[in-house]
Amino acid sequence: MMGGKTAVDTIVSSSPHLQSKETISGIMYTVLIALIPAVLVSIYLFGMKSLYLMLACSIFAVATEGAVQKLRQKEVTINDGSALITGLLLALTLPPDFPMILAILGSVIAIAIGKQAYGGLGHNPFNPALVGRAFLVISFPVEMTTWTKWVGPVGAAIDTQTGATPLNWMKTEGIMTDYSALFWGNISGSLGEVSAFAILLGGLYLLYKGYIDWRIPLSVLGSVALLAFLVGEDPLFHLLAGGLMLGAFFMATDMVTSPITKLGRWIFGLTIGFLVWLFRIYGGYPEGVMFAILLVNMAVPLIDRYTAPRILGEVKARG
Amino acid sequence: MKAKVKTFPQGAHIYELKGDTAAKNIVDTSPPEEVVIPLQQHIGAPCKPLIEKGDHVKIGQKIGASDSFVSAPVHASISGQVTAIEPRKTSLGRKVLSVVIKANGQQEFAGELRGFRDELPDGEQIISLIREAGIVGMGGAAFPTHVKLSPPEGKEIDRVIVNGCECEPYLTGDHRLMLENSEDIIFGLIAIMKALGVKKGFIGIEENKMDAIISMKDASSPNQNIEVIPLKTKYPQGAEKMLIKAIVNREVPSGGLPLDVGVVVINTGTAKAVTDAISNGIPLVERIVTVTGSNIKNPGNLRVRIGTSFRHLIAECGGLNEESGKIIMGGPMMGKTQHTLDIPVMKGTSGIVLLTGDEAAAAEPGPCIRCARCVDVCPVNLVPIGLANCSEHEKFGDLESLHVLDCIECGSCSYICPAKRPLLHWIRLGKAKIAAMRAAARNSTSSK
């Protein structure tokens, strides 16, 4: 029997006294699992160099996170999986032959500037992986747009040829790549962006787990397809090409940097889709998913503020 | 065509944890040697004692009453001698003037109330009987029932809903009552409908209690005006505003009451107590308490005399598994933790949940990752993380404009948060601050 006379052996706290078993690291590791198809496809298509790039980015992202947390005298939380996601996502947006030292630099910037400078997990306004990528695109434009031409599975042929991405082909030469190549991934492009199939597989898994809101990928992809169709472009091509799929399922859906209201998520996704379309059709830089997401990330606090849901019974009770 | 199961928007699917007691019959607790009966067990004015130390009292004898309308009298729950009238600890977190009665081992009934076995009395008589019997909302809030049944001028009530949701995890008292006393609940509902002149009554039951749905349907079948409504098992389905939204699709206005939309909601236990008072003349002297949780040896549903100590019930259920842990009065979502077992069961004590230290330990909160789980579950459509942040940073003006006072404190946000942030804790703090600021503002204007 409990001693009972004093408060010594009882725990007193305010309700609720029950919590779900879901944790932040649980969510993060599920996202990592969802990235496995894209990782495997990139290794299959581009070989071990792709694996090395992903490893380098991931390791340095985690190391940077730990180092900055030490410097800030904060609890080191590198096991929560969030830095790992940033590193891996950044790697997946890089060209296969991207110099490893620059990739590492991008990864360090992504975590140090994109995330920790704002206060760490949950406080960053921009998707950190995209901050890293934006840094690399601006600082090393040549390296970031030198694409390995896909010539067959690893080792089948010379793999140092350079080629253009399908969006570049379309933009500069008016050449369209066929859907099947775009879907499975045997095209030139970034590590994790080439195979729509692999991204969809992971994206559907996250939808099933409830870790991303369907409104965001649907509104991003839907608005790009619709707008492309309206100006006489091939909507399916636009959906499958470039970084759109990866962006729609894994970047725009980042919980920290997307709105928390349902209406807000529609507005967020539609705006991203609109900007992607604008950049692709009228811009000088066809691979515009990254800038589209970063720009709308910036508007998230505003979107949240103006889309707060109507509360139950929001009509004043009489007198 | 199968009709869609009714429910309210949003809400959370939470652990139910009712398996230990759902199939266990309600059993009578052995008579306690002593009861402590607080003179205020309800929302409203406290009662004044009607007896003195040393008096002999019988079961059902009125021992405390108030002239105030919003109040409910209290009655002796055992026969014996009054040994003290003094402030005692209660589960409300403060001491309340209480009557201590030592049992004499007899079952002497006072028989002060007249029962109507055959025919229902008229509405006014029903309401006065309910008042005299000391009946309050037995789901936990303990609001005097006769006040609910006396709507102010101009408020037309046209629906009565019996709340059989029991959406709190662990608790099964209402469930058992609906199985074992279904006809009494229907009788109580009919009496309340008559008192209010209402033609339509509903009984809302969550789908995880199919047997109760069937049993209540059987019991209500002779009466065309009563409908049993199966509801989706979702928390907080049993919250008044959610229940009303689900069953009659009306929204209780912000800051308003169910009567603002013509509805009165009563708990199953309350309906049963109304029946006991009207047909047998027995005031509210006992209730069903689910004693359960990971830290109790033999969990069960007990019929308990008001005033019985928690300690007595724990012993009755075989004692605790380990000596530390959490004692919760009520369910784990909205119940209040206690620091002692030496407190009495009151009219609103629906359960005692005992958790082991491991289960009760609060997880260390992490940073918010803006997953919006709290936004998705809030049944009032608030943005809990926004409210919690404002409260944490003492932006109380913003808090008010974000409707913090509409929070029903169901706890869904804190439950669902993957970062384990104590969202409701902050929100409560904010609400308390606003209440204090309003009171201070009132005082300063009135002193001018």
State the residue for tokens 């581009």: A46
Length of chain A: 319
The DSSP symbol for B103 reads E
**The tokens of B377 are what?**
């579950």
Say if residues B127 and B274 touch (Cβ distance below 8 Å).
no
Reply yes or no on whether the pLDDT at A284 is more than 60. Answer: yes
Q: Whose CA is closest to B69, among B131, B25, B4, B1?
A: B131
Residue A316, domain member (yes or no): no
* Percent of chain A whose pLDDT exceeds 70: 89
The CA dihedral of A287, A288, A289, A291, to the nearest 10 degrees, is 140
What whole-number distance in Å separates Cα of residue A254 and Cα of residue A261?
14
| DSSP sequence for A86-136 | HHHHHHHTS-TT--HHHHHHHHHHHHHTTTGGGTSTTT-SS-HHHHHHHHH
The answer to whether the Cβ–Cβ distance between A15 and B402 falls below 8 Å is no
> Alpha helix locations (H) across chain A?
24-46, 48-71, 82-92, 100-112, 128-139, 141-144, 166-168, 179-184, 196-209, 215-230, 235-240, 244-246, 262-282, 289-306
Q: Is the dihedral of CA B69, B71, B77, B82 positive or negative?
A: negative
Which domain does A209 fall in, by range? 25-157+165-301
Q: Is the dihedral of CA B15, B293, B355, B141 positive or negative?
A: positive
Q: Which of A126-130, A175-179, B137-141, B144-148 is predicted least confidently?
A: A175-179
Whole-number pLDDT of residue A6: 40
**How far off is chain B from A247, nearest CA to CA, in Å?**
18
Q: What is the mean pLDDT of residues A235-261?
A: 95
The answer to whether the Cβ–Cβ distance between B369 and A260 falls below 8 Å is no
B contacts of A27 (beta carbons < 8 Å): 369, 371, 418
Reply yes or no on whether the pLDDT at A153 is more than 70. Answer: no
What whole-number distance in Å separates Cα of residue A68 and Cα of residue A149?
38
The DSSP symbol for A10 reads B
Rg of chain B taking only CA atoms, in angstroms: 22
Q: What is the mean pLDDT of residues A266-275?
A: 98
pLDDT digit string (tens) for A11-27?
899 999 999 999 999 99
A contacts of B395 (beta carbons < 8 Å): none
Confidence of residue A5 (pLDDT cuts 50, 70, 90): very low
| DSSP sequence for B16-62 | ---TTTTTSPEEEPPPPSEEEEES--SSSPPPEE-S-TT-EE-BT-E
> Alpha helix locations (H) across B343-421?
357-360, 373-377, 384-392, 396-401, 412-416
Chain A to chain B Cβ contacts (< 8 Å):
190
Give B201's strand partners: B160, B226
What whole-number distance in Å separates Cα of residue A218 and Cα of residue A234?
18
**The tokens of B403 are what?**
């409707």
Angle between helix B173-180 and helix B210-220 axes, rounded to 10 deg: 40
A contacts of B375 (beta carbons < 8 Å): 260-261, 309
Residue A6, domain member (yes or no): no
Best mutation site among A6, A8, A10 for testing chain B: the one with the most B CBs within 10 Å?
Answer: A10
- HSE, CB side, 13 Å, CA atoms: give it for residue B259: 12
B237's CB contacts (< 8 A; 6+ apart) are B7, B8, B11, B165, B167, B204, B206, B231, B243, B246
Angle between helix A82-92 and helix A48-71 axes, rounded to 10 deg: 140
What whole-number distance in Å separates Cα of residue A59 and Cα of residue B49?
73
List b or e across A196-217, with b for residues whose CB sees 16 or more CB atoms inside 10 angstroms.
bbbbbbbbebbbeeebbbebbb
Angle between helix A48-71 and helix A24-46 axes, rounded to 10 deg: 150
Give B144's strand partners: B136
Within chain B, what is the greatest distance between any pair of CA atoms? 67
Whole-number pLDDT of residue A150: 58
What whole-number distance in Å separates Cα of residue A84 and Cα of residue A63?
10
**The tokens of B62 are what?**
């009125």
The answer to whether the Cβ–Cβ distance between B406 and A311 falls below 8 Å is yes
Report chain A's mean pLDDT, rounded to a whole number: 89
- Closest residue in A to B374 (Cα) is A260
What whole-number distance in Å separates Cα of residue A90 and Cα of residue A156?
27
Side chain identity, residue A15: S
Confidence of residue A313 (pLDDT cuts 50, 70, 90): confident
- Where is B428: in which H helix or E strand? helix B423-446
**How far off is chain B from A114, nearest CA to CA, in Å?**
15
Q: Where are the domains of chain B?
A: 1-32+111-361, 373-446
State the residue for tokens 């008010």: B400
Q: What is the mean pLDDT of residues A244-264?
A: 96
**How far off is chain A from B252, nearest CA to CA, in Å?**
5
The DSSP symbol for A79 reads G
Name the stretches of chain B with pLDDT < 70.
1-3, 447-448
Confidence of residue A173 (pLDDT cuts 50, 70, 90): low
Say if residues A187 and A95 touch (Cβ distance below 8 Å).
no
Cα A156 versus chain centre, distance? 31
- Closest residue in A to B421 (Cα) is A19
Confidence of residue A318 (pLDDT cuts 50, 70, 90): very low
Residue A279, domain member (yes or no): yes
Residue A244, domain member (yes or no): yes
Question: What are the phi and psi torsion angles at B109 (to 5°)?
Answer: -100, 140
ipTM of the complex: 0.91
pLDDT digit string (tens) for B16-28?
999 999 999 999 9
- Where is B231: in which H helix or E strand? strand B226-231
Question: Residue A97 belongs to a domain with what CATH number?
Answer: 1.10.3430
Tell me: cis bond preceding A99? Omega within 30 of 0 counts. Answer: no
What whole-number distance in Å separates Cα of residue B117 and Cα of residue A106?
83
What whole-number distance in Å separates Cα of residue A9 and Cα of residue B325?
7
Say if residues B357 and A11 touch (Cβ distance below 8 Å).
yes
A contacts of B296 (beta carbons < 8 Å): none
SS3 B191: helix
Residue A45, domain member (yes or no): yes
- Closest residue in A to B337 (Cα) is A12
Q: Mark which residues 234-273 of A lie under 8 Å from B by CB.
A: 255-261
A contacts of B253 (beta carbons < 8 Å): 313, 315-318
Q: What is the mean pLDDT of residues A82-94?
A: 97
Residue A15, domain member (yes or no): no
Residue A52, domain member (yes or no): yes
Reply yes or no on whether the pLDDT at A7 is more than 50. Answer: no
**The tokens of B269 are what?**
């236990």
A contacts of B319 (beta carbons < 8 Å): 1
The answer to whether the Cβ–Cβ distance between A16 and B337 falls below 8 Å is no
Confidence of residue A317 (pLDDT cuts 50, 70, 90): very low
What whole-number distance in Å separates Cα of residue A209 and Cα of residue B183?
44
Number of domains forming the structure of chain A: 1
List b or e across A68-88, with b for residues whose CB sees 16 or more CB atoms inside 10 angstroms.
bbeeeeeeebbebbbbbbbbb
Correct CATH for B1-32+111-361 of 3.40.50.11540, 3.40.50.880, 3.30.300.30, 2.30.30.60: 3.40.50.11540
